[in-house]
Chain A
């Protein structure tokens, strides 16, 4: 039997996710207010400001890694802090709470070092925005490696985004959905691990699609 046609114990159903943005009405004019906001806003706000760039600029990589870093550089002219914030490895965190803590700690240390409180010019305040996520099933499903590879080629980048980032960080699943299914339902441990090792934050979404596709085409386990 062709290994690419081996059937999984469970069918993989591709989902997509769409985002509605909500304004919190909360603004920060300086680092102290930014820190207070980061500590207090809902997880969905932290999620938005650390992830939306991945989708809004589909073709550019590398990208500014989070809005906090971008604002600190552009509006406050704090280049050193901006670099520290941008070098936080988002990939290391399994949930938004620990990412929030890491970002807050970097700003706290900076403030404790007695840096002056620069103020953003009028109109350039930081606006805290929340992402409301809608998860919907698509028509794409897979029970074999071949079907899975075909679907990866066809699904929207919204769908890729959901299974790689959102399912882990917002629904509390372990790892990314693709690796889990490939390993648990199809026994494709090697491909699953390759995908799990990818740093999705340093690729564009189309780049990620290409990379995953190349792992799948590397051949099924025989």
Chain B
């Protein structure tokens, strides 16, 4: 695992000095993070990197995971979809099970942080123990909250408003709430297996293993198999491109332990792809970060054709590798891509196909977009900026309504 000093060559010494300065001010505080999965998905990925770094700079951070059965995660998946404005029906019994599972976890879990930092809706009900535990509570929302289903939002809102702070990833996710709302974008780790530099030989070897031809254009979408990522739409888009340009399509992603829907989506995608030898559907194991890194680096164009996005960090991952990206203008993607400057934003499958063809036909244009994109990610979406924002937020809990803190 990288140490904080390892980031210095990438972000500069001052950024590291500022992090250490902030950490000093938090000395002695225990920050307890709670989420619903230890592996797979963006939240676990960020916590896996962030907790050791916080510890190294002197912040006593810990991480706990709630337990729940298959039924519980089916309900939380429904809640997740409803927050992304997909039509779902959640029965009274399912709501009750959600509440009961949270209660059971609250009873079993040792909630001991000075700041209890809850991630996403699954463990949101732990706040019911606030009275007994006291201390500061923060709820971090990692999903697209721009138009949540009103019924599900009405169920969650009373929980949210018992926290001290709600954290959202994009300005459009803000709600009318009686608590503070902090804006913190997520980040990528430039030193992780998924983002670190790779030798060409490694990339070639992995692409050979998958049977992908590096001599021909490669269009790639990396994401878990989920309806909200529109993988079947991507296949339609590929077919539009293929009419005019020779290319291969790679759809690659893994599953998470809290996503029971993935298998169905994967089956639909396989059926849609049929026997096309230029479509590669790669269902990767959770620890396939080097493979993902290699696929992104080998790509001619990277796609993120999501219908909804919590943030869409795969865009930052691709831009960090200076790749041209075509992505939907949803969730946090417009924060990562300025259209025609650091990537291309699209709204329709036809539009996506048009931009992909432009990039395949004008690689120099794609190169420039990728270079600008990398610089934007360097300034705004690396792990060190994320660490800094979290520490500032923890410090801001000292006094509720202040706009200026002087140390």
By a beta-carbon cutoff of 8 Å, the part of chain A in contact with chain B is 16, 18-25, 27, 42-44, 56, 58-59, 123, 125, 127, 129-139, 155-156, 158, 170-171
Query: Which of B21, B183, B380, B405 sits near A22, CB closer than 8 Å?
Result: B183
Binding site for A on B (CB under 8 A): 14-15, 17-18, 21-22, 25, 146, 168, 171-177, 180-184, 329, 375, 379-380, 388-389, 392-393, 395-396, 402-407
Shortest distance from the beta carbon of B187 to any chain A beta carbon, whole Å = 15
- Are A25 and B177 in contact (CB-based, < 8 A)? yes
Using Cβ atoms and an 8 Å threshold, which residues of chain B touch A133? 403-405
Find chain B residues with CB under 8 A from A155 CB.
Answer: 14
> A129 to B171, Cβ gap below 8 A?
yes
B183 and A156 within 8 A (CB): no
Contact in complex: B18, A135 (CB < 8 Å): no
| Given A23-B174, A132-B402, residue A137 in contact with residue B182 (CB < 8 A) | no
Residues of A within 8 A of B402 (CB): 132
User: Do A20 and B392 have beta carbons less than 8 Å apart?
Assistant: yes
**Which residues from B are CB-within-8-Å of A158?**
14, 18
Please provide the 6 A-B residue pairs with the shortest distance between their CB atoms, ordered closest to farther.
A23-B174, A127-B171, A23-B181, A20-B392, A156-B14, A44-B403
CA distance A156 to B17 in the complex (A): 10
Interface SS of A by simple majority:
strand
- B350: min CB distance to chain A, Å: 19
* B399, chain A: closest CB distance, angstroms: 10
- Which residues does chain B contribute within 8 Å of A127, judged by CB atoms? 171-172, 174
Q: Which of B182, B329, B395 lies in contact with A23, CB distance below 8 A?
A: B182
CB distance from A127 to the nearest CB of B (A): 4
Partner of B18, one of A16, A23, A59: A16
Among A25, A27, A127, A171, the most chain B Cβ lie within 10 Å of the Cβ of: A25
Bound complex: CA A138 to CA B329 (Å): 40
A44–B396 CA distance with the chains assembled, in angstroms: 15
Q: Give which listed residue, A18, A129, A139, contacts B392 with CB less than 8 A.
A: A18
Cβ of A58: which chain B residues have Cβ within 8 Å of it? 379
Distance in Å: Cβ of B171 to nearest Cβ of chain A: 4
Contact B407 A20 (CB under 8 A): no
Contact of B174 with A20 in the complex, beta carbons under 8 Å: no
**Assuming the A-B contacts A18-B392, A20-B393, are A25 and B407 also in contact, with contact meaning beta carbons closer than 8 angstroms in the complex?**
no
Cβ contacts under 8 Å, B181 to chain A: 22-25
Partner of A20, one of B17, B182, B406: B182
A24 and B404 within 8 A (CB)? no
Q: How far is the CA of A59 from the CA of B168 in the complex (A)?
A: 28
Q: How far is the CA of A191 from the CA of B25 in the complex (A)?
A: 36
Given contacts A25-B177, A56-B379, A123-B146, contact A132 B18 (CB under 8 A): no
Name the one of A25, A42, A123 contacting B403, with C-beta atoms under 8 angstroms: A42
Residues from chain B with Cβ under 8 Å of A56 in the complex: 379-380
| CA of A18 to CA of B391, assembled, Å | 11
| Extra 4 A-B pairs, beta carbons < 8 Å, given A56-B380, A132-B392, A132-B402 | A23-B173, A58-B379, A125-B172, A132-B405
Q: Is the CB of B175 within 8 A of A25?
A: yes
Contacts of A18 in B (CB 8 A): 18, 22, 388, 392
In the assembled complex, 14 residue pairs joining A and B whose CB atoms fall closer than 8 Å, in A order, are: A18-B22, A21-B183, A22-B181, A23-B173, A25-B177, A59-B375, A127-B174, A132-B396, A134-B396, A135-B404, A135-B405, A136-B18, A155-B14, A171-B404
Quick check: A134 and B183 within 8 Å, CB to CB? no
A135 touches B406 (CB 8 A): yes
Chain B hits for A44, CB < 8 A: 403-404
Smallest beta-carbon distance A39→chain B, Å: 18
Q: How far is the CB of B181 from chain A (nearest CB, A)?
A: 4
Would you give the shortest CB distance from B380 to chain A, in whole angstroms? Answer: 7
User: For A138, what are the chain B residues with a Cβ–Cβ distance below 8 Å?
Assistant: 17, 21
